[in-house]
Amino acid sequence: MRNVLGTAGLLGSVSVAFSSMFWSQQKTDSTPESSDTPSSDTNSGSTYELKLVQVLFRHGARTPLKSIPDVMEAQWVPTLLEPPPHTHINYTVTDLQGGPRPPAPVEDNYRKNILSGGTFPGQLTTLGMQQLYELGQRLRRKYVEDRAFLSPIYSPDEVYVRSTNIVRTIESAKCLVAGLFQQKQKETVPILTTEGETEILYPNYYGCKLLKILCSHRWAESSTLPGIAADLQSIQSALGIAAHQRVDFILIRDDMVARETHGLPNPPVLNSWKNTVEQRAVDMMYHIFDPSKKENLQLCVGPLLEVLGENIEKKLQGISSESDRKLFLYSVHDTTLIPCLMALGIFDMRWPPYAADITLELHQNRQTSEAFVKVSYAGQDQLIPGCSGVYCPLQEFKQVLSAHSLSSELYRSRCNNPEGRTEI
């Protein structure tokens, strides 16, 4: 079994890049029509009040994780990674309790290799930083300027920022906050992270033995599926990749899209293969995560879905010691968004672009206290299967989450008992 299922290897081969040129999301037509629906949330005269926003967002454009073997390499020079001045803020990286940043074996693994041109694999580029800054600007327009939901200056009482312990996601979080608050801050921004064994912001093959067993089987199987295998053999031949080289569509696509996004040349033969590479990479991921098997998605994103649900409950019940908190930001990966979209029933078989976001808004009726959750993906409202409307009554939304969410105790119990696994 290739090392993609190790800590860094999994993120290195599966957490891959995709530019927005390949992606478009259909906006649902199921928007509320009644004036009694939660459409203007923060006006004092509105029936409904926006209470909480949670955003899962993918990092921005980056250097590739590995170059396609036996083809002309792009030059990934250090000037492609220079931070724009407007993305600077004062921030610190801590563990979840506010202590020192934990060790980062995934990042350490990236830095064992150097790409042609002199940079490390998997690093956020200037373009990627700008993409997250612009996402922050979009959130500012929505939650600061249009709705006056957030203060115009960063406040740790209002905003919680958590990232995977990888430089590109940490820097992405920093750039988003810079855009959201236009570099206005009275206090240093803490970006919280955790060690690899307990990470829940991506499918954790290192920390969950059962997930590694389930997905290693399906990963090995995905490249041998008849259509995928035939296309892979054809593209290897067309590119002149030696038969002994271990490549798959995810690796090819990662390098191809990273080059295109940054205006760097691809092997000309790839021009006629772009659509096939994209579709086959998605087909592989769909087979690996396999949403028809509930256990897969539970182990991939169950603990994260549980946290999102808990944040909603704590806000409504007022039991959190941080009752003023209005925004949770989670800096994650495409391999986080894909299984989350699958669990919510809204994955459209297209790869999430750089800086894509899943946003959950909690609204509450001021008179009846009835609560609703609205989900958007890349800025477009979504009708979640199992919900009676885009503004999903909380009980319906909790039912949707419950199909795949897992408490931390149950997650650990299942992860550490691979002998009791279900059919794979």
| DSSP code string of 233-259 | HHHHHHHT--TTS---HHHHHHHHHHH
Q: Map tokens 């988003």 to a residue.
A: 176
The set of long-range contacts for 316-324, using a CB threshold of 8 Å and a minimum separation of 24, is 316/51, 316/362, 316/364, 316/371, 316/394, 322/157, 322/160, 324/157, 324/158
Asked if residue 162 lies in contact with residue 191, where contact means CB atoms within 8 angstroms, the answer is yes
Q: Which tokens in the block code for residue 40?
A: 């203007």
Catalytic-labelled residue, pool 59, 262, 333, 404: 59
E-assigned strand segments in 196-305? none
Q: At what angle do helices 226-239 and 249-261 cross, to 10 degrees?
A: 50
Q: Which amino acid is at 335?
A: T
Catalytic-labelled residue, pool 290, 334, 357, 381: 334
* Residue 348 designated active-site: no
* Residue 59 designated active-site: yes
Rounded Cα distance, 251 and 81, in Å: 22
- Residue 174 half-sphere exposure, CB side, CA atoms within 13 Å? 22
Asked if residue 164 lies in contact with residue 202, where contact means CB atoms within 8 angstroms, the answer is yes
**Residues known to be catalytic:** 59, 334
